[in-house]
Chains A and B, each alone.
Chain A
Amino acid sequence: MPDPILRLSGVFANIAQYHILQGVDLEVPAGAVTMLLGRNGVGKTTTLRTVMGLWRAHRGSIVFADRDITALPTPAIARAGIGYVPETMGIFSDLTVEENMRLAAASGPIAADRLDWIFAAFPPLKTFWKKEAGTLSGGQKQMLSIARAMAEERRLYLIDEPTKGLAPAIIATMAGALRDLKKQGASILLVEQNFSVARLLGDSCAVMDDGRIVWSGAMAELAGDAALQERLMGLSLEAG
Chain B
Amino acid sequence: MSAAPDHAPTIVRAGLRDRLAPHVPLLLIPVLIVLGFVSIGSPSSWLTLTVSGLAMGMMIFIMASGLTLVFGLMDVINFGHGAFVSVGAFVGITVLLALGGMTGSPSLALNMAALLLAVVAAMLATGIIGWGFEKVIVEPVYGAHLKQILVTMGGLIIVEELILVAWGPDEIFFTRPETLQGAFTFAGAAIERYRLVAVVFGLALFLAMRFVLRSTKIGLIVRAGVENGEMVQALGYRLRAVFIGVFIAGSALAGLGGVMWALYQEVITAHMGAGIMVLVFIVVIMGGLGSVEGCFIAALLVGLTQNYVAFLEPKLALISNIGLMVLILMWRPQGMMPVVKAK
Contact = CB atoms under 8 A, between A and B. Distances in A.
B211 interface: no
Interface string B1-20: 11111111101000000000
B342 interface: yes
Contact of B220 (A103, A172, A173): A103
A180 B1 contact: yes
A92 interface: yes
B228 A123 contact: no
B220 A106 contact: no
Contact of A90 (B2, B4, B231): B231
Give chain B's interface secondary structure class: loop
Contacts of B7: 139, 167, 169-170, 173
A213 interface: no
A90 B223 contact: no
Interface stretch (B113-121, B140-148, B234-242, B301-309): B234-242
A111 B343 CA distance: 32
A135 to B, nearest CB: 9
Interface string A140-166: 100000001000000000000000000
Chain B interface size, under 10 / 10 to 19 / 20 to 34 / 35 or more: 20 to 34
B230 interface: yes
8 contacts: A75-B233, A78-B235, A88-B342, A95-B224, A148-B235, A172-B5, A176-B2, A180-B2
B217 interface: yes
Contacts of A172: 5
A102 interface: yes
Contacts of B342: 88, 90
B237 A75 contact: yes
A147 B35 CA distance: 49
A30 B262 CA distance: 63
A103 B2 contact: no
B221 interface: yes
A20 interface: no
Contacts of A167: 7
B227 interface: yes
Given A54-B234, A75-B238, A140-B9, A94 B3 contact: no
Contact of A94 (B217, B227, B343): B227
A121 B228 CA distance: 26
B227 A106 contact: no
A123 B3 CA distance: 10
Interface of A: 52, 54, 73-75, 78-79, 84, 86, 88, 90, 92-95, 99, 102-104, 106, 117, 120-121, 123-124, 127-128, 131, 134, 139-140, 148, 167, 169-170, 172-173, 176-177, 179-180
Contacts of A104: 235
Nearest to B6: A169
B221 to A, nearest CB: 7
Contact of A176 (B3, B221, B223, B239): B3
Interface of B: 1-9, 11, 217, 220-221, 223-224, 227-228, 230-239, 339-340, 342-343
A84 B230 CA distance: 11
A75 B227 contact: no
B2 A121 contact: yes
Contacts of B232: 103
A90 B230 contact: yes
A93 B340 contact: yes
Contacts of A170: 5, 7
Given A99-B220, A121-B1, A131-B11, 5 more contacts: A75-B233, A79-B236, A84-B234, A90-B228, A128-B11
B217 A123 contact: no
Contacts of A52: 234
- The 9 lowest CB-CB distance pairs between A and B, nearest first, are A176-B2, A90-B231, A78-B236, A124-B9, A74-B233, A106-B236, A173-B5, A79-B236, A92-B224
Residue among B2, B339, B342 facing the most chain A CB atoms (10 A cut-off): B2
Contacts of A93: 227, 340
Contacts of B239: 75
B8 to A, nearest CB: 8
A135 B233 CA distance: 24
Given A95-B224, A169-B7, A103 B1 contact: no
Contacts of B221: 103
B4 A123 contact: yes
Contacts of A176: 2-3
Contact of A179 (B2, B11, B223): B2
Contact of A134 (B2, B220, B237, B340): B340
Contact of B227 (A74, A86, A92): A92
Given A123-B9, A169-B7, A117 B1 contact: yes
Contacts of B3: 176
A148 B235 CA distance: 9
B235 A169 contact: no
Contacts of B238: 73, 75
A97 to B, nearest CB: 12
B236 A75 contact: yes
Contact of A95 (B8, B217, B220): B220
A124 B11 CA distance: 10
A169 to B, nearest CB: 5
Nearest to B290: A94
The interface centre, meaning the residue of B3, B7, B8, B340 with most chain A CB atoms within 10 A of its CB, is B7
